[in-house]
Structure 1
Amino acid sequence: MIALGVDTSGRTLSVAVARGGQLLGEYSLALGYRHSVTFQPAVDELLGRCDLTARDVGLFAVAAGPGSFTGIRIGLAAVQAMAYAAGAQAVGVSSLRALARSSGAGKGLTAPLLDARGGRVFSTLYRGSRQLIEESPRKIDDLLMEIAAVAGQNEKILVTGDGIAVWEEALARDPGRTGRLPFETVYASLPFCYIRASAVIELALEDLAGGVAVTDPFRLEARYGIASSAERVQGQQGSGENEVEGT
């Protein structure tokens, strides 16, 4: 089966094609939030280099969030349309889970972080493929406490994603905190701080094999994690609140 994986949930666009689980090709473009312009040409070019078209694809896999609201919508809408046209399956996976897989962390602790602004991060924690804390937007100080409660003494934790800067700032504000935390922080290098579409394919195939994947293109759901700015404004107006928190 031909699988096409895509990620538009962050600043980097990534697309990949695999056959029978074997990677045929992958593009990652760090051009910022220009996915509405760059997505379709990248997909068409990669498929063309693999002598394929979208109608040859049997599985479309997409990083469904959390992340950029607009980026998530672009990816989901495109996958829904392509999967429907091809009569193919479509599977959404967590962007945090895909980020952790993209980091190449192996069996150790991995904290994938996506900057949610305001000192918050979309976050979770994995030991290998096992999730230890739930996905949620958190204040970075709360996340550090949650991780400290489950990490082993002097255990190394790989931190990855664009939320690294938020983590670093939290430690810099309190230089003594590093010594009080039971774990040791290791930062992923830049190439491993972005979601790879090949990891999205891997996870979708694992979910299919495990019987936990939803494959109907029109049942794909975005995992925004928090309400969008427009949704928060609407809710605050209804409750009489005037202050709007940015994301």
Structure 2
Amino acid sequence: MLILGIDSSGHTASCALFSDGVVLSEYSTNIGLTHSQTLLPMVAEIFSRTGRDVKELDAIAVSAGPGSFTGLRIGASTAKGLALGYGIPLIEVSTLEALARNVSDLSSPALSAHISSSGADDTESGKTSEHANVSPDSLFVHPIMDARRNQVYTAAFLNGKLTGEEEAIGVNELASHINASGGRHLFLGDAVPVYKDFLAEHLTVPYSFAGPQNLLQRASSVAIIGAEKLEKGETVSGQDFRLSYIRKPQAEREREEAGLREFDITHDDPDKLKKTETVDVLAAKNYKIGTDAGYEDESLPENL
């Protein structure tokens, strides 16, 4: 079994080859270049270095979101191009699940000791495990990805299993939920550097943060999950592959918040064009355009 894993959901671009329980090669970069510049050459490089061929692939596992809309689309386009060109099935992998898999091999006793020494103590904070229906030794893994506007994409994993749902949530609300849950908590993801100080100030339960080697997205985790899904027959074609954005793109959210209506405008409909230009709330000057508009790194989702 040979699996290609791809993750470009955040600032890091990563690809990996996984075969029969072994990570043959993994290539990750976080140097400020756009994924459209780096991802495909990276994929070519790991095939070259391992002496393997794309035609040998049993499947391509791709991070399907959440994450940067643009980054996700670049990864999906790369994978779909290979899949459609060589007739290879695709496997959709949750970005958050793959992040959580980064730390799945850490032993609970050692990790608990580390968390106890680096996070808040239940006794000192006045909080006890009686507040929650979980053991005080339960370890929750929280992948957190920066979703802008003081929000993160996140989910909670206990013993490798998703508890609840993947969601976009405010960091204040996240801290409150975690404080009410009891147990111990490990954070990883690109939102850690952004909100580390905030979490340290507001959390009243034992917590810690993953080290730099496991903090960000790794395509090897995507590929490993992909191998498990392949054994279960959980594959899709290039045409059926879909991304999971969790929330709508910023441009669409702003339009809805402003109560703006959509018009189906064509060059053959001068009346609608005239109306759009004369009604001030719909005038072009009221729309933010370009990088100075403060938009996130998002594109309107299409049927991927």
Structure 1 equivalent of residue 153 of structure 2: 122
Q: Does 1:57 align with 2:57?
A: yes
Residue from 238, 241, 244 that aligns with 2:261: 238
Residue from 218, 223, 230 that aligns with 1:208: 230
Residue from 236, 239, 246 that aligns with 1:218: 239
CA distance in 1, matches of 2:7, 2:14: 5
Identical positions, percent: 31
**48-57 or 98-107: bigger deviation:** 98-107
- Correspondences of 1:35-46 after superposition (within 5 Å): 35-46=35-46
CA distance in 1, matches of 2:249, 2:217: 22
Q: Give the root-mean-square deviation of aligned CA atoms.
A: 2.3
CA distance in 2, matches of 1:46, 1:168: 34
Structure 1 equivalent of residue 171 of structure 2: 140
Instruction: Name structure 2 gaps, 5 residues minimum.
Output: 109-138, 263-280, 289-293, 297-304
Residues 14/3 of structure 1: CA separation in 2 closer, same or farther (3 Å cut):
same
Report the residue type matching 1:42 in the other structure.
M
Determine if contact 2:3/2:226 at 8 Å carries over to the other structure: no
Larger fraction in strand? 1
Residues 171/51 of structure 1: CA separation in 2 closer, same or farther (3 Å cut):
closer
Determine if contact 1:60/1:88 at 8 Å carries over to the other structure: yes
The TM-score normalised by the length of structure 1 is 0.87
Structure 1 equivalent of residue 90 of structure 2: 90
Q: Does 1:150 align with 2:181?
A: yes
Instruction: Name structure 1 gaps, 5 residues minimum.
Output: none
Deviations 1:67-95 (A, max 9, x none): 11111001111111101111111001111
Residues 243/150 of structure 1: CA separation in 2 closer, same or farther (3 Å cut):
farther
CA distance in 1, matches of 2:231, 2:28: 27
Higher Cα Rg: structure 1 or 2? 2
CA distance in 2, matches of 1:80, 1:200: 16
CA distance in 1, matches of 2:107, 2:229: 19
State the aligned residue count.
Answer: 237
Q: Does 1:192 align with 2:214?
A: yes
Q: Does 1:109 align with 2:179?
A: no
CA distance in 1, matches of 2:168, 2:239: 26
Structure 2 equivalent of residue 163 of structure 1: 191
CA distance in 1, matches of 2:48, 2:246: 35
The TM-score normalised by the length of structure 2 is 0.71
CA distance in 1, matches of 2:254, 2:194: 25
Q: Does 1:227 align with 2:248?
A: yes
